[in-house]
Amino acid sequence: MSRIFEVLNKSKEGVADLVRPMVAEQIRRAPQTDGEPQGSEVPTGVAEAPAGKKAPAAEPSSLSHIRTLSLRVPAPSPLLPFESGQWRPSEQYRILRTKISQHSKQPRAIVISSPGPGDGKSVTAINTAAALSLKSESHVLLLDADLRKPAIHKQLGLPQSPGLADVLAGACTLENALVHTKEFPNLCAISSGTTPANPVELLDSRQWRAVCTRLRDIFRYVIMDSPPVGSVADYDLIQDVCDGVILVVRPDHTNRNLCRQALELLPKAKFLGVLLNCVPDWTPAGKGGADYYYYASGKVPANDQNGPSG
């Protein structure tokens, strides 16, 4: 499965403020702040805290008015390994979670991308968001911003619409597009929505920036799936609103030239690191060297004779 190839920077700073609560649709949206674009159509259904005051931590009941759906993930699957006995990939995603939460820049909106198709960016985005949501104080949003070739709704068994494209086109509210996952109480998702004929125009808009601003106010982390780096103009518009970028690379699959080009295109200020996907039988101390820490707890299933896949 996945592991971190380039170690993300750490810091001693504490975790940022907890997420703001979501309120019912009938509650009127608070006035725009000076920092928001004038005239932008900010989706309704979410109220902001008064200026200069911190909103209280979100309670589980504050999400009760949003659709709650069960995830439908086929088995076997590399998705959501946390409760399926896949101990090694589960631990690797927890390592990624720790490095994100301890990063000196405290990134909140993170785009997961790759040099090309098939490298595993969508799977990584799903598992990263799920791992972050396992922390009780971290409400997380998984956002499918790949409007051309969306995959998250298929992989999780969620409806494609209403979704992001519908919100940006004004066809539905942000609240209507949100889905609260039953299996992960702190995880919400927004699918790509109805496939648009003009994804660039939807993303190159004040509406897109206003939606991202609102999502950052609601969730502790926003994890976005995007098209591959440099493949279409959509990626640059998605990266522009994010704090950090994680590049997913798959050994024996990723095109080296595309990987080199992607690394050159990524802004250094936002580049968090590279994650290697589908790496078999790997441990930090060589094959079997770190298995002691997995097996010492006695949690590895008896049928896992070869240990968790790395």
Domain residues of the chain, as ranges?
3-7+70-295
Strand order in the sheet with 140-144: 3-4, 271-276, 244-249, 109-113, 221-225, 140-144, 187-190, 179-181, 67-69
Quote the DSSP letter at residue 247.
E
Per DSSP, which regions of 40-104 are E strands? 67-69
Sign (positive or negative) of CA dihedral 250, 255, 257, 262 = negative
Q: What's the rounded Cα separation, in Å, for the pair 207 and 41?
A: 6
At 113, is the secondary structure helix, strand, or coil?
strand
pLDDT given at position 304: 39
Which residues sit opposite 4 in a β-bridge?
Answer: 275
Q: What is the mean pLDDT of each run of 10 residues along the chain (310 residues)?
A: 38 29 30 35 36 38 72 82 75 92 95 95 95 90 97 96 96 95 95 94 96 95 96 95 96 92 95 89 53 47 34
Q: Are 112 and 124 spatial neighbours (Cβ–Cβ below 8 Å)? A: yes
> Who contacts 229 (Cβ-Cβ below 8 Å, separation ≥6)?
113, 114, 115, 235, 247, 261, 262, 265, 266
Q: 């259904």: which residue's tokens?
A: 45
Q: Are 242 and 209 spatial neighbours (Cβ–Cβ below 8 Å)? A: no
Q: 């790997």: which residue's tokens?
A: 282
pLDDT given at position 263: 95
User: For the structural domain made of 3-7+70-295, what CATH number should be given?
Assistant: 3.40.50.300
pLDDT given at position 35: 36
At 142, is the secondary structure helix, strand, or coil?
strand
pLDDT given at position 86: 75
* Cα dihedral 38→42→48→50 (10° resolution): 20
Q: What's the rounded Cα separation, in Å, for the pair 160 and 110?
A: 22
Which residues sit opposite 144 in a β-bridge?
Answer: 225
Q: Are 88 and 294 spatial neighbours (Cβ–Cβ below 8 Å)? A: yes
